[in-house]
Structure 1
Amino acid sequence: MDTQLQGKGVLVTGGAGGIGSAVVRAFAEEQAKVAVHYHQSADKAEALARELGGVALRADLTSEADVDALVPAAVKALGRLDVLVANAGVWPPADEPVWKMPLARWRRTLAENLDSVFLSCRAFLRHVETTGSGNIILIASTAGLFGEAGHSDYAAAKGALASGFLKSLKNELTRIAPLGRVNTVCPGWTGVERHQDKLTDPVFINRVTRTMPLRKLGRPEDVARVVVTLASDRVSGHVTGEVITVAGGMEGRVLHES
């Protein structure tokens, strides 16, 4: 099916990461023009942009000034900007229950996973206000749907992207873009590059798929294809304010004992 994304301008935040790079490639396959945002992964972002004919743009998404400059830079580099994929985020690896979590970590996690999305969307919508059209895809997590013990900070930030922030934004967006849409994708455990050593471990696979009827690991491409589908006005033109979970049917309960 023709997604009609050819020639559209797309900004993918965190575009050099595991899911982000798959999203960038998926848009490139549709012949969209893609800006690969990065913060610290300059080599990966620039190599990906060169390979696909896009552009790599640096910004600290917790910096208001950086983000406010990022969107105009993307517009200038691509010639237009139609889609924002707010993919960048940081999962803090340390297990910290609420009663032990330092306020500094809580604030840092929310800044990296929620403030960054607010700033990205705000900058993009200021551009949309001048064009009258635009679509946003927010990348959240199943942690925002089911919670994640030891990571309440991350779950709280991602939960906002799958509920209150999303639902408010989809109503506000049509004030400046009558056909503008915003949706959220919630990946479950996904086999990105940094997890390669675990992808053939049957014990690990059994553990992470116990709550999933589809007992297989998600891949970045699984998420990317859903993102492209939601970005397409032809395919998903009457879909907005929705949460799409890409997690093999994951539930908040164990479905398989072994």
Structure 2
Amino acid sequence: MDTDLTDKVVLITGASGGLGAEMARTFARERARVVLHYHTRQDAAQTLADELAPADCVALGADLTSESDVASLWEEAEARLGPIEVVVANAGIWMPDDVPIHRMTLDQWNQTVSADLTSVFLCMREFFRGIERHQIMDPAAVLIGSTAAVFGEAGHVDYAAAKAGLVYGFLLSLKNEIARLAPRGRVNAVCPGWTLTPMTQKFAADPDIIRRSLQTIPLRKVGQPQDVASAVMFLASSQLAGHISGQMLLVSGGMEGRVLNEPDEIDPQKAV
């Protein structure tokens, strides 16, 4: 199937992690030219670039909460591969400890909002400037949210609020703004549920956690990185999703905000 992504310049933030790396592999298979952004994990990003050879990929570092770093990232990416045509805003943080709001520090709140929302603002601002500067005809952005934005997440109000801001007000504003710069420009979002990555692997090893987590998921299984990457690739493709903009796609096994499965109905061996 033709995705029309051949030779498109795609920038993926947070490409050194589990989801970001799988997205990079997916775009490379479509013969896109991929900018692999990393923050601190240069070795992982460069190893990924080497893995994807002979695909045209470059690993570039930046602190996405820094205006100057984001501007430099775009400048270097354009110098190496050309104008950015697709952005996947994947980078972000999730604090592993449950902290209720009455115990949460302002520092934690600010850190999460900065990493998960402000960083995307800075990247999208630079992307839109590039669209205008280079007169890109069919740019696309895919924002990576979370089911926490839709259903909330007790103990992680900072993360849920930042992601909700991203996939509601931010997304719905940008899908209108991008069309004023490029008539066929699109912005969409993918909201993964629990997905098996190196970060979540330790939780998947605990049958009790699996049973509790899958009580709200009718498919009774944990998502795989390729599930998310395929959805992102679909929305990034003007050939496959050229008339889709401003939409939020949940990749979560049909998750609902209510219990659907009892623990004894879930087989942890078949869930991962």
Measure, in 2, the Cα distance between the counterparts of 1:137 and 1:14. 13
- How far does residue 180 in structure 1 lie from its aligned partner after superposition? 0.2
What is the CA deviation profile of residues 3-48 of structure 1, one whole-angstrom value per residue up to 9, with x for unaligned ones? 0101110000000101000000000010101010000111000111
Q: Give the aligned residue type for 1:61.
A: L
Residue equivalent to 2:115: 112
What is the CA deviation profile of residues 167-226 of structure 1, one whole-angstrom value per residue up to 9, with x for unaligned ones? 000001111111000000000001002333443543322221110110111011100000
In the alignment, structure 1 residue 180 sits paired with structure 2 residue 185: yes
In the alignment, structure 1 residue 236 sits paired with structure 2 residue 241: yes
Q: Give runs of aligned pairs for residues 33-52 of structure 1, distance below 5 A.
A: 33-52=33-52
Compare 232-241 and 92-101 and name the one that shifted more.
92-101
- How far does residue 92 in structure 1 lie from its aligned partner after superposition? 1.0
In the alignment, structure 1 residue 158 sits paired with structure 2 residue 178: no
What is the root-mean-square deviation of aligned Cα atoms in Å?
Answer: 1.1
TM-score by length of 1: 0.97
Measure, in 2, the Cα distance between the counterparts of 1:124 and 1:78. 15
In the alignment, structure 1 residue 57 sits paired with structure 2 residue 41: no
Residue equivalent to 2:270: none
Q: Which runs of 5+ in 2 are unaligned?
A: 264-272
In the alignment, structure 1 residue 125 sits paired with structure 2 residue 138: no
2:83 touches 2:130 (CA, 8 Å); kept in 1? no
Measure, in 1, the Cα distance between the counterparts of 2:157 and 2:243. 33
Q: Give the aligned residue type for 2:159.
A: Y
Residue equivalent to 2:6: 6
Correspondence for 1:82 among 72, 82, 85:
85
TM-score by length of 2: 0.92
Q: Percent identity?
A: 53
SS in 1 for 2:2: coil
Residue equivalent to 1:96: 99
